[in-house]
Amino acid sequence: MLWKDFDARDRQEIVRHYSPKIKIVASRLKAKLPPSVEMGELLSAGAMGLLEALGRFKAALGIKFETYAESRIKGAMLDDLRRMDWFSRGQRQRVRTLEEATRRIENDSGGPPTLGQLAEATGLSEREVSMGLEALQNQLCLSLDAITENISSYQQNQLDNEPYKSAEFKELVDKLASLIDDLTPREKLVLSLYYGEELNMRETSEVMGITEGRVSQLHSQALARLRQKFKSQYNIEQH
């Protein structure tokens, strides 16, 4: 049964039933985004994702509708974020300045820069540096979400075309796992705490006993390595 087969009352009931799920997914994404992104925008995109799921779901996919719906809800939110320029010009320039300063300091000293060094190199206050690093992490963590969503979409397309032949998807997941295995222990721990345990940057720094700046750096370099390896080795376009 597809969305067009439900009457208006049934449609309202379906949306009402899944509203808590949409809010949960939106809240998790919102925690990784700057204040300029409004919760209402994510909720609206999620609702459209739910409608899309209802219109496209087929039992032959071999997965539960709830699983399919959650994937499309999150996918719609990510699509909407990619269409939005949610970094202000000032934020974008600050992040670019910090990235350039970080590379210079690392090349000169052979080690990661401190907040004080970044502040001195950029002319920003330590608070502005910290905010810039947070913005950079928020931007990068969406990249990992996008990788995950690409895999999920790949799974659905494969199952849609060949309902009982998902070996290619399993191979893809295995390859991603092997990429993660290539990360350093600290990089893997940062990703595990941030995505698995859903800790924020401050909480992750407390667990690991390192500064927030160091957590941000480990997170950034881990995602950069994953994105680059994933794209170059397996020819899957990242957005």
- pLDDT tens digits along 22-55: 999 899 888 777 677 889 989 999 988 888 888 7
Q: Which of 76-80, 191-195, 207-211 shows the lowest per-residue confidence on average (mean pLDDT)? A: 191-195
Q: Is residue 222's pLDDT more than 80?
A: yes
Specify burial of residue 164 (Cβ count, 10 A radius: 0-12, 13-18, 19+).
exposed
Q: Distance (Å, rounded) from C-alpha 57 to C-alpha 129?
A: 45
Q: Where in the chain is the domain with CATH 1.10.1740.10?
A: 1-86
Q: Which of 28, 54, 61, 23 is CA-nearest to residue 152? A: 61
Q: What is the pLDDT of residue 236?
A: 41
Give 233's DSSP letter. H
Is the pTM higher than 0.85? no
Q: Where in the chain is the domain with CATH 1.20.140.160?
A: 88-239
One-letter identity of residue 5 = D
CB 89 within 8 A of CB 174: no
Q: Which of 6-10, 86-90, 183-187 shows the lowest per-residue confidence on average (mean pLDDT)? A: 86-90
Domain boundaries 1-86, corresponding CATH code: 1.10.1740.10
CB 153 within 8 A of CB 50: no
User: Kind and range of the H or E element at 207?
Assistant: helix 201-208
Task: Classify domain 88-239 at the CATH superfamily level.
Answer: PhyR, sigma-like (SL) domain (1.20.140.160)
